[in-house]
């Protein structure tokens, strides 16, 4: 390409679940003061998957509008990031590839590193598109956040998928060099193969996150990154939305800046709207923050946006992107609001029933009840094989 080339996010679409549990319902059940949820962690409700929804159906539902708008002819790679994988060997992306009817001349892979995986997928995708700017890469972040019932982490649960089309000359966000990187072996959050719910040390996890914020920012500066005061807003991974505020306060402290509440609200406030009502969506979280920012902000054209992607265990990356000229013409604001508004409220008893539902491990024939009104569903299990359907 003869002129200066940009690479990044050409389109972004997300999907969430059929059901929603309000934090009022959770608080009423467990006797918690509602302020602990609304103010303490900054959460209003959590998306709850139907019996026939999982990371595949959510991922395909998120990506389908992108395929409808742009077609699939230039997509040569699909990268699906998740930490709630459905199989130890087969990529969930292969099922999504099939449901979307993508070309067979395509590479598909699944990436895992806790909540950081989608950022790795985005950076890998940019590398592929740089090599051949005529190609596009479909990046999907899809997760179901699940903790033990009545555990401290329960109130942060959620589920969603974000799909991003990565291309040259992107219509939404131009991703910049460099990145600030950080990895440390920390046991703050993990899920052994023999468990279906995650283990978390809440206090350790907050400290590990804050260490990663400072360390990845330090490396970003050493790599020649932008100055802190250049950024119009910051998108943080949000295991709960209050964590974005804690993280930005910590970054300002580390950088020797004033930690004025109004300034922090200006930098963070428009990024939390979707995560506050969806709950933690793991790999999708930081890109739901981006969707909320772009949908709500005044014109951000050519303004730098900071991204802090964190995945427990732990890996973090700080990088920057700028909103492309004309980006507002390509937003999906109405569809995004509808994805959230369409969820049907469930009471606490129904939520517990859905939470505890699992397939037997006998490899037999097990059909799922038809609950989702989304475009794709998990029809059941047969001979140890998951059966998916387009509705």
CB 279 within 8 A of CB 47: yes
**Residue 278: closest CA among 159, 385, 137:** 159
CB-CB neighbours of 191 under 10 Å: 17
Q: Was 147 annotated as part of a binding site?
A: yes
Catalytic residue among 115, 176, 248, 250: 115
Can you tell me which residue has the tokens 């930005």?
248
Q: Is 83 a catalytic residue?
A: yes
**Catalytic status, residue 237:** yes
Select from 57, 49, 136, 159 the least CA-distant residue to 100. Answer: 57
Q: Residues 97, 237, 248, 355: which is the catalytic one?
A: 237
235 is catalytic: no
In the set 18, 53, 83, 317, the catalytic residue is 83
Cα–Cα distance measured from residue 238 to residue 226, given in angstroms and rounded to the nearest whole number: 23
DSSP letter assigned to residue 151: S
Structure tokens that stand for 332 in this block: 């999906």
Measured CA to CA, the distance from residue 61 to residue 383 in angstroms comes to 26
CA-to-CA distance for 142 and 133, rounded, in angstroms? 26
**19 carries a ligand binding annotation:** no
Best CA proximity match to 50, nearest among 388, 328, 368, 384: 368
Best CA proximity match to 294, nearest among 238, 262, 264, 335:
335
Point out the residues that are catalytic: 83, 115, 237
Annotated binding site: 147, 246, 280
Annotated binding site for (3S)-3-hydroxy-3-methylglutaryl-CoA: 147, 246, 280
């Amino acid at each position: 390409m003869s002129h200066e080339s940009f690479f990044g996010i050409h389109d972004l679409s997300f999907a969430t679940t059929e059901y929603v549990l309000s934090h009022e319902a959770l608080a009423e059940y467990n006797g918690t003061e509602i302020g602990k949820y609304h103010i303490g962690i900054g959460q209003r409700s959590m998306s709850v998957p139907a019996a026939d929804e999982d990371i595949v159906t959510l991922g395909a539902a998120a990506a389908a509008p992108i395929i409808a708008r742009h077609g699939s002819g230039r997509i040569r790679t699909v990268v699906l990031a998740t930490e709630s994988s459905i199989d130890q060997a087969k990529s969930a992306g292969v099922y999504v590839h099939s449901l979307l009817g993508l070309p067979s001349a395509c590479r598909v892979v699944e990436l895992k590193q806790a909540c950081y995986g989608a950022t790795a997928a985005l950076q890998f995708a940019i590398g592929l598109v740089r090599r051949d700017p005529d190609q596009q890469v479909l990046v999907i972040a899809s997760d179901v956040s699940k903790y033990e019932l009545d555990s401290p982490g329960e109130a942060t649960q959620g589920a969603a998928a974000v799909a991003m089309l990565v291309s040259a000359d992107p219509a939404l966000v131009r991703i910049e060099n460099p990145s600030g990187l950080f990895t440390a072996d920390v046991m703050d959050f993990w899920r052994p193969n023999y468990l279906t719910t995650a283990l978390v040390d809440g206090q350790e996890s907050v400290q590990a996150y804050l260490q990663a914020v400072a360390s990845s920012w330090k490396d970003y500066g050493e790599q020649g990154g932008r100055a802190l005061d250049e950024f119009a807003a910051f998108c943080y991974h949000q295991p709960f939305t209050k964590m974005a505020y804690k993280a930005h306060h910590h970054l300002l402290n580390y950088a020797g800046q004033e930690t004025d509440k109004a300034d922090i609200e200006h930098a963070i406030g428009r990024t939390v709207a979707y995560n506050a009502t969806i709950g933690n969506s793991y790999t999708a979280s930081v890109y739901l923050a981006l969707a909320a920012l772009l949908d709500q902000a005044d014109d951000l054209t050519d303004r730098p946006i900071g991204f802090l992607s964190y995945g427990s265990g732990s890996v973090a990356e700080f990088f920057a992107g700028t909103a492309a000229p004309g980006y507002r013409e390509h937003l999906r604001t109405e569809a995004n609001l509808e994805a959230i508004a369409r969820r049907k409220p469930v009471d606490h008893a129904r939520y517990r029933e859905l939470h505890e539902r699992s397939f037997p491990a006998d490899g037999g024939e097990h059909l799922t009840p038809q609950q989702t009104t989304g475009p794709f569903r998990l029809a059941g299990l047969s001979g140890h094989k998951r059966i998916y359907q387009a509705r």
